[in-house]
Each structure stands twice: as C-alpha cells, then as structure tokens.
Amino acid sequence: MDLIEQLKLELKNKISKKRYEHTLRVLEQGKILAKEYNISVNKVEIAVLLHDFCKEMKIFELFEICKKKNFSEIIGYENSNEILHGFAASVYGEEKFRIKDKDILNAVKYHTIGRENMSIMEKIVYLSDGIESGRSYPAVEEIRLLAKKDINDAIIYEIDRKIEYLIKKNVDIHINTLKMRNFLIREKNLRSDR
Ligand SMILES: [Fe+2]
Ligand SMILES: [Fe+2]
C-alpha cells in the first residue's frame, strides 16, 4: 500500500466522518492549486491528509507529543488544540509515517498559524484548508476568487478577515500570523516598487 492509501485508511479510523470529509475537500482544493502552481500533487496530498490527523486527540496527548520537540511557537498555547494539532501532526508524520520531507512536515505544522517566508506548498495547504468547498464564512468567495489570481493576495485577505474575527471575539492572535502577514505585505510592496 502506498503512503497516500495508508494515510487515508488510518485517518478514517482516527477522526470523525465530518472531519474526514473536510480533509477530502481540502485534498480537492489542494490538488487544484498544486497543479496551478506546478508543484508536486503527491506531496500536497500527503500534507493535506496529515494536517488534521491529530485534531481530535485530547489536549494532554497533543501536548505530550509536542513537548518532546521543544517547539518555541507553542509556548503559552499548551491548552490550545487549535495551535497544537498541526505541530503534533507533523511529529506524527515524521515518527509514525516516516516522512522526512521538511516541506511536507512544515506545511502540516504551520497550517493553522502560518509563519514568515512560507514555501508554496505551505501556502497551498494553509489556504486550501481555509477555502475548501465546505467553508461558508462571509469572505470565503472573495478569497476563492483571489486564490485563482494570486495566492499571496488571497492569503493576505484571508489573514485580514481572520484577524478581524479574532479581535471581535476578543481572543489571542498568534505572533506567527502577524509575521506571515508582515512578510507577505513587504514582499508585495517590493514587487510594486519595481
Ligand atoms: Fe487544522
Ligand atoms: Fe483542516
């Protein structure tokens, strides 16, 4: 059995039907973007199948997995499933599925909070998670349209809507999300200065 088949099978047993179906929709979106941006569809598939692998684990289990790795980005988020599940899934991928490709592991790790200087694969997994066909928040159509033109503009717009939402809900904004935005904005301004 190849890795993709194995991941699908194990994922199906590990998470709810609802989340499994979400992953299949992210997979569809991810494949479209991978082709559009000329990167390995196979790698995107592996990263997407892993991205929410640990999402339904108990918080103490997530923390146990992450603790071994001393990830600096999780300090202060020890009780946050939202932040920990991507980090834990990257460890899972490395240890359980023997995935060595750093780009795949980073795409999994940072799919929720992002980071500075993301690779195209990281961007594709991040964005596909947010715009898969089952998503229905107010700005999603606009983000989908932007994704067809420029993935960076789509991510900037997505971050802005996310930040507005987090401010309204009065919750924490992870520093990586702000760093990701700063990086993309600087890059965009450099391009338009030329
Ligand atoms: Fe996730
Ligand atoms: Fe997801």
* Distance separating alpha carbons of residues 181 and 194, to the nearest angstrom: 20
Alpha-carbon span 81 to 58, nearest angstrom: 8
Question: How do residues 32-69 score in pLDDT, each as one tens digit?
Answer: 999 999 999 999 999 999 999 999 999 999 999 999 99
pLDDT of residue 1: 82
- How many residues are there in the chain? 194
Cβ 74 vs Cβ 87: under 8 Å: yes
Identify the pLDDT of residue 191.
Answer: 86
Res 153: pLDDT: 98
CA of 20 relative to ligand 2 center, distance in Å: 9
Q: How far is the CA of 186 from the centre of ligand 2 (A)?
A: 27
Ligand 2 centroid–CA 19 distance in Å is: 8
Going from the Cα of 194 to the center of ligand 2, the distance in angstroms, rounded, reads 37
pLDDT value at residue 8: 97
User: What's the DSSP call for residue 52?
Assistant: T
* Terminal Cα-to-Cα distance of the chain (whole angstroms): 50
Nearest-ligand number for the alpha carbon of 19? 2
Name residues of the chain where pLDDT drops below 50: none
The domain over range 3-193 is classified in CATH as 3.40.50.300: no
pTM for this model (two decimals): 0.97
Cβ–Cβ < 8 Å for 173, 154: no
Q: In 37-150, which residue ranges form alpha helices assigned H by DSSP?
A: 41-51, 59-67, 81-95, 102-109, 120-131, 140-149
pLDDT of residue 17: 98
